[in-house]
Structure 1
Amino acid sequence: MASKRVFLSIRKDSFPFFAVTANKRFISVVILSVIIVSYNVKYFLEQNLRSLEAAAAGMKAEIIVVDNNSADNSVAYLRPLFPLVRFVENDQNKGFAAACNQGFADATGKYMLFLNPDTIIPEDALHRSVTFLETHPDAGALGIKMLDGRGRFLKESKRAFPGPVTSLYKLTGLSALFPRSRIFARYHLGHLDPDSNHRVDVLSGAYMMVSREVLRKTGGFDDTFFMYGEDIDLSYRIQQDGYQNYYFAETPIIHFKGESTRKASANYTRMFYRAMSIFVRKHYGEKRAGLFNFSIQFAIGVRGILSGLSGFIRRMGMPVVDALLLLPSFWIAKLAWNNWVKTSTIYDGNLLWISFSGLTAVYLLIAYYAGLYDRQYRYGNLLRTATVGTLAVLAAYSLLPEHYRFSRAIILAGATLAFILMALVRKLFLHWSVISASETGNPPVTIVTGSREEYEGLAGLLVQPVATAFIEAGDDMAGDVWSQLRGMPRAAEGKRELLFCVGQQPVRDLISHLPEAGDRMPVKIHYHGSGSVVGSDSTNKSGQALSGESRMKIAKPYFRRLKRLADLVFSLGSIVFFPVPLLFIRRPLRFFRRSFAVLSGRYTWVGYAGNPGDLPPLRPGILTPDGLPSTVAAATDPGYYNALNAGYAMNYDPLADLQLIAGSYRALGN
């Protein structure tokens, strides 16, 4: 029986046309294949696919998502929601270029759109992009005007090829000083009007539409480029084959920058300019590549050192900085005490080094569990650390052998000085944007605009407590929503955010007003019927995604640390008090093996029962949330345990974990 190709014609208000192929030799009648490479951005991808549903309505289109081994259960979460999207799961991160080629090999359309998962496209973007290519036979590829989450124009929407001098101007900051110069700002073509269509050199891989014929001639993406540079390389080869690359400004899209790699990081700097070096060597020859490398190496080094220092402090350097403040603080307190109070007392320097180092370690441990090293700095966490840390250090001091002790006054004075220095250093780091601050005071009022049904559907997504104001969208969007926002006092705008529901309101209306709205307040987007809300305030920071997980305690870093602490305390206690388990636990040897497994981080004492679905991930558990061994729970009613797992994640309490372990103590070796 001959194989057939089947097209699914879905209502325009539901899904677009998708093609299901059983025979790739069949002449394609699919107009557009959208290829998305995804890595750990499931909620941004959810909103992206919702926008594609609306944009592809009335087209013969297919969507292919290539997942590069995401750890956030992206495919398991999204596949049931989008049954007509084709998901390709890789068992490793193959990089952007290789994954794009993988999607292209499976695609059947006349045109290919390579699209980032953290984009939102308006309802007319696909139709108008295809029409532009159809009416410009010299076009090899099309890029588009992109805005960030606050409506600011993204300069990478249009670029020139990165020659040595052009790259040097960008690296040294001359392009930023002269943003409209034809010479200094050539990399981002700053002299070209961003609101007009242009022939350009380089298009962004975040939205690049290319015909199948052009990709066949050029050979697709070069997977030598793991991340960054692959779009520049393909743009260059398209021009070399006699085609033009067009920048299309008539229907902007939103690109929530910063989801895969932070632009401010040392990793970004290193990977980006390594890609530029590969490009120059490949297309300009070794001689020009040598000139390129020589001309920019110094600038890369300076920028890399600065961004590397910043990244180190953000990720793991703050405990080191605090240690360098704590130790001197104790020594300064000791010297002051010696010089002005106990002038005749002599302290053993070696013993003081040991004591101060141990007390510093205790203080840093308290700081970690108090949340001082969370992604965003909170003054309240520093105050909590100073209070609890000082009490813990004093308690640890009292347990020291007599010959290690010196004076509680030194401890108290040193901890107080350390608190002052830590606060001052963090204030400087905030001013220099080395670290970022969490919102303080009351959370902003969320202004929700949409239909009444859309507003009520958000109840399960917004993290409580949250104050909301509702502007019901009518037929006249500009009159109902934007005029009210314009009438809002500027002084109040820093205390508000806009949540735009897409459904009754088309997203193109938001995009057209986004530069104005984003200048006034943060903006978030929610497609009606989806399970998330997304937004981004900066091109250099990861975007924010709210979902049902946002309300679950177990998803918050603070409670995950407490869970790990509860595991460590019980495991260490079991090992230290070795004889006790021999008396009370049925299979003590297995229990000890499990204690070491939990201690090493491979297991947790209390985990989910069976398959947790899309709940925040946990290590495999020895017990389930109702105290049964996990092996027993796997064979029991899944419906019951789904509800049990959800309740455990939502209302997690570390003391409840310890009580559960104590109640099931005798069975921990089973």
Structure 2
Amino acid sequence: MSWELDVSIIIVNYNTKELTRNCLKSVFDKTNGISFEVIVSDNGSNDGSVEMIKSEFPQVVLIENNANLGFGAANNRGLKIAKGKYILYLNSDTVLLNNAVKIFFDYWENSPEKEKIGALGCVLQDDKGNVIHSGGDFPTYKKEIFRLIKENVAISVNSLLSFFHIKQIHKKKNRLLNAVSESVDYVTGADLFVRNNSFAEFDERFFLYFEETDLQFKMNKNSLKRILISDPKTIHLEGKSNKIKMKSLDRYISFSSAQILFSRILYFKKNNHKKIWLFIIFILEQLYLFHFFYKTKNMRKKLWSLYVS
């Protein structure tokens, strides 16, 4: 199949006007030597993002979804009209530091095993140059059950600490990746470079989180490699702070944390369906939500509907 362009860069925007402006500026400033297009799939933003894009970046192909479709679905809208041989899924809170798009393209095109590649990513960094989450291993029942047990213990302890108005600060350490390239189970969706084919389409049942993991689990079953390479340089501002200040227990029941719980159940139901282990994860997630009693009544009901569906 012949393609009109080398790469289609797809960015999902939802009320991230300033971040999207900086991301787009970095893309157009840094990308050269290849033919490309930028598609922004906007999920019903009301912060002036759409007007900003139309005014400052008229070359961008703008999709106005007029509703928050979720991350995977919004990316799929861009995929449907993409003219590039390759797709770069790029978060709106990223900034390219070099000609990363061409580096991805050249690596794939020049690889002697290019037909065996499913996805590329880079070693992401925060705005201070620290290495942050860039990829990882596929979730397993053992790992997720252990994680949920730790979360339940932690939240119980912090509930007591909050009662006595004691603040906790949690530190997380960056894992340095020194290799020129490293095979991983999955590349994070913040900068996911894939071929424009059926393996580029997300399962829209995942509203947020686990969608890129699910996508690359399918690649894995088809013996396609997922690789992090060191030459593309990208800042991901989601990892801006290395400290999480426990100001309130409300962060535990934020929209994002709820989506992680829902998507975790969906991922295991779809890809590793063993009823007993899924049941244990479900119970641990319900226990996690039960810490908040009435605040999470609807969330617990939704989790139940996902489990039994």
TM-score bracket for the superposition, by shorter chain length: 0.7 to 0.9
CA distance in 1, matches of 2:81, 2:104: 22
| From 165, 187, 190, the counterpart of 1:203 | 187
Does structure 2 conserve the Cα–Cα contact (< 8 Å) formed by 1:277 and 1:293? no
Task: Specify whether residues 193 and 253 from structure 1 end up closer, same or farther in structure 2 by C-alpha distance, changes over 3 A only.
Answer: same
Does structure 2 conserve the Cα–Cα contact (< 8 Å) formed by 1:195 and 1:250? no
| Match of residue 218 from structure 2 | 237
| From 191, 194, 203, the counterpart of 2:177 | 194
| Match of residue 268 from structure 1 | 256
Task: Specify whether residues 191 and 239 from structure 1 end up closer, same or farther in structure 2 by C-alpha distance, changes over 3 A only.
Answer: farther
Does structure 1 conserve the Cα–Cα contact (< 8 Å) formed by 2:130 and 2:174? no
| Match of residue 27 from structure 1 | 2
| Match of residue 28 from structure 2 | 53
AA in 2 matched with 1:194: L
How far apart are 1:219 and its partner, in Å?
6.4
- 1:72-92: per-residue Cα shift (whole Å, max 9, x none)? 121112211111111110121
How far apart are 1:154 and its partner, in Å?
1.9
Matched, 1:167 2:153: no
Does structure 1 conserve the Cα–Cα contact (< 8 Å) formed by 2:11 and 2:75? yes
- 1:452-509: per-residue Cα shift (whole Å, max 9, x none)? xxxxxxxxxxxxxxxxxxxxxxxxxxxxxxxxxxxxxxxxxxxxxxxxxxxxxxxxxx
How far apart are 1:120 and its partner, in Å?
0.5
Does structure 2 conserve the Cα–Cα contact (< 8 Å) formed by 1:142 and 1:245? yes
Task: Specify whether residues 79 and 252 from structure 1 end up closer, same or farther in structure 2 by C-alpha distance, changes over 3 A only.
Answer: same
How far apart are 1:158 and its partner, in Å?
1.5
- 1:235-271: per-residue Cα shift (whole Å, max 9, x none)? 1111112211112233331111189xx9944132221
Does structure 1 conserve the Cα–Cα contact (< 8 Å) formed by 2:194 and 2:200? no
How far apart are 1:304 and its partner, in Å?
4.1
Task: Specify whether residues 109 and 282 from structure 1 end up closer, same or farther in structure 2 by C-alpha distance, changes over 3 A only.
Answer: same
Give runs of aligned pairs for residues 234-313 of structure 1, distance below 5 A. Answer: 234-257=215-238, 264-266=251-253, 267-285=255-273, 288-295=274-281, 297-298=283-284, 300-301=285-286, 303-304=288-289
| Match of residue 59 from structure 2 | 84
Does structure 1 conserve the Cα–Cα contact (< 8 Å) formed by 2:98 and 2:232? no
| Match of residue 127 from structure 2 | 149
SS in 2 for 1:226: coil
CA distance in 1, matches of 2:46, 2:239: 18
- 1:328-387: per-residue Cα shift (whole Å, max 9, x none)? xxxxxxxxxxxxxxxxxxxxxxxxxxxxxxxxxxxxxxxxxxxxxxxxxxxxxxxxxxxx
Give runs of aligned pairs for residues 9-24 of structure 1, distance below 5 A. Answer: none
| Match of residue 112 from structure 1 | 87
AA in 2 matched with 1:148: D
Give runs of aligned pairs for residues 440-459 of structure 1, distance below 5 A. Answer: none
Structure 1 residue ranges without an equivalent (≥5): 1-25, 175-189, 313-670
Does structure 2 conserve the Cα–Cα contact (< 8 Å) formed by 1:161 and 1:202? yes
- 1:75-128: per-residue Cα shift (whole Å, max 9, x none)? 112211111111110121111111111100010101000111010011221121
How high is the TM-score relative to the length of structure 2?
0.76
Give 1 or 2 for the bigger CA radius of gyration.
1
AA in 2 matched with 1:220: E
CA distance in 2, matches of 1:128, 1:118: 20
CA distance in 1, matches of 2:233, 2:190: 12
| Match of residue 47 from structure 2 | 72
Which structure has more relative contact order (CA 8 Å, sep 6+)? It is 2
CA distance in 1, matches of 2:97, 2:174: 27
Task: Specify whether residues 87 and 191 from structure 1 end up closer, same or farther in structure 2 by C-alpha distance, changes over 3 A only.
Answer: closer
Task: Specify whether residues 62 and 289 from structure 1 end up closer, same or farther in structure 2 by C-alpha distance, changes over 3 A only.
Answer: farther
| From 199, 203, 221, the counterpart of 2:202 | 221
AA in 1 matched with 2:138: F
Supply the RMSD in Å over aligned alpha carbons: 2.8
AA in 1 matched with 2:278: F
| Match of residue 121 from structure 1 | 96
Does structure 2 conserve the Cα–Cα contact (< 8 Å) formed by 1:168 and 1:296? no
| From 23, 27, 38, the counterpart of 2:13 | 38
AA in 1 matched with 2:178: D
How far apart are 1:303 and its partner, in Å?
4.6
Between the aligned residues of both structures, percent identity stands at 26
Task: Specify whether residues 252 and 303 from structure 1 end up closer, same or farther in structure 2 by C-alpha distance, changes over 3 A only.
Answer: farther
| Match of residue 167 from structure 2 | none
Task: Specify whether residues 90 and 161 from structure 1 end up closer, same or farther in structure 2 by C-alpha distance, changes over 3 A only.
Answer: same
Give runs of aligned pairs for residues 194-593 of structure 1, distance below 5 A. Answer: 194-196=177-179, 197-212=181-196, 215-216=197-198, 218=199, 220-257=201-238, 264-266=251-253, 267-285=255-273, 288-295=274-281, 297-298=283-284, 300-301=285-286, 303-304=288-289
How far apart are 1:192 and its partner, in Å?
7.7
How high is the TM-score relative to the length of structure 1?
0.37
Does structure 2 conserve the Cα–Cα contact (< 8 Å) formed by 1:163 and 1:292? no
Task: Specify whether residues 244 and 264 from structure 1 end up closer, same or farther in structure 2 by C-alpha distance, changes over 3 A only.
Answer: farther
Does structure 2 conserve the Cα–Cα contact (< 8 Å) formed by 1:280 and 1:289? no
CA distance in 2, matches of 1:139, 1:63: 23
Would you tell me which structure has more strand in proportion to its own residues? 2
| Match of residue 140 from structure 1 | 118
How far apart are 1:68 and its partner, in Å?
0.4
Does structure 2 conserve the Cα–Cα contact (< 8 Å) formed by 1:146 and 1:153? yes
AA in 2 matched with 1:270: A
AA in 1 matched with 2:264: M
AA in 1 matched with 2:52: Y
CA distance in 2, matches of 1:151, 1:170: 28
